[in-house]
Amino acid sequence: MNKGSRIYVAGHQGMVGSALLRCLASRGYRDVITRSRQQLDLLDQRAVTEFFARENIDVVLLAAAKVGGIHANSSQPASFLYENLVIETNVIHAAFAHGTPELVFFGSSCIYPKYCPQPIREDYLLTSGFEQTNEAYAIAKIAGLKLCEAYSRQHGMRYISVMPTNLYGPNDNYDLQNGHVLAALIRKTHEAKLNEMDSLSVWGSGSPRREFLHVDDLASAVLALLDSAHAEGVFNIGYGRDIAIADLARLICDVVGFSGSLKFDLSKPDGTPRKLLDVSKLVALGWSPTITLRDGIAATYADFTANVQRNGYANA
């Protein structure tokens, strides 16, 4: 990839896509292509095919997907399976058919088996059963990953798949039902502080351990892969350390300035007991994260409060 490459960022308005745009701009890439959902519906095969036929794209960063937290995944399995399958097959095939030599497909650490050995290596994929709350999403993402492998093996394309850990940062989804755990906790803690509450309710037991990576670190890792002549196949992208949800909640309370107690809602699911990625394959290429969890949470909370000021609390 060079500074004149035509780079299509699919899903540029989301958390991952917007981070990719920031990273590309900061490094001097001049020809970055974006389309909103209104301009290009990735569920429409004909529209996607015509788009690739027109644009002469060199690199695709496929960050567009239907995503959500435990509640969204478990309550909308058909939507998560169908929409993600259609988006990825439309884009990956159109990229191949119109000669795009490089593509990065975004999977997720949640598609690994529920009871993986820790830390999770790339070759643990499909070695045992899924976490049931996100089975539909996992199946769709595995199909996309395998599609990239197939086009690379059969046609010599360089279609890489990345498996990010839990992400957070600017443009996260702070919805209390459909958002991810860190963003939802930021909003709940902020709300508890504003309302001068005595306690904060946290889903589950607080014992599961999760790894969190700032989305700007993810973007830098993706560019590091594209800059490496040796990068092919599947790569985990993570921070390299995990934290118990209870300790994460305490850290967020400290950053937000909420001094109440934590109450753990055992009626809510914990999900996978632990998820920590083995990132040695990526680190061997010379990449490492630069944003600490505390600093990243502080910056994300600042983004959240700025969003509240711009759009009102209901839209944060």
DSSP string, 78-105: HHHHHHHHHHHHHHHHHHHHTT--EEEE
Q: How far apart are CA 103 and CA 226, in angstroms?
A: 9
**Residue 84 annotated as part of some ligand binding site:** no
Q: Can you tell me the mean pLDDT for 247-274?
A: 93
273 labelled binding-site residue: no
Q: Indicate whether this model's pTM tops 0.85.
A: yes
Burial class (CB in 10 A: 0-12, 13-18, 19+), 311: exposed
Q: Is 137 among the residues known to form the active site?
A: yes
Q: How far apart are CA 177 and CA 232, in angstroms?
A: 36
Domains, the chain, ordered by start: 7-173+212-241+274-292 (3.40.50.720)
Respond yes or no on whether the N-terminal peptide bond of residue 164 is cis (omega within 30° of 0).
Answer: no
Looking at residue 277, the DSSP 8-state letter turns out to be: B
Q: From CA 306, how far away is CA 304, in angstroms rounded?
A: 5
The answer on whether 214 is annotated among ligand-binding residues is: no
Annotated ligand binding at 141? The verdict is yes
**Environment class of residue 169 by beta-carbon count within 10 Å: exposed (0-12), middle (13-18) or buried (19+)?**
buried
Q: What pLDDT is recorded for position 44?
A: 98
Q: Please tell me whether 166 is known to bind a ligand.
A: yes
pLDDT digits (tens, 9 = 90+) for 113-135: 988 899 999 999 999 988 888 89
Query: Which residue is catalytic, options 137, 168, 174, 301?
Result: 137
Q: What is the pLDDT of residues 29-86, one digit of tens each?
A: 999 999 999 999 999 999 999 999 999 999 999 999 998 777 788 899 999 999 999 9
Report H helices in 174-237. 181-194, 215-227
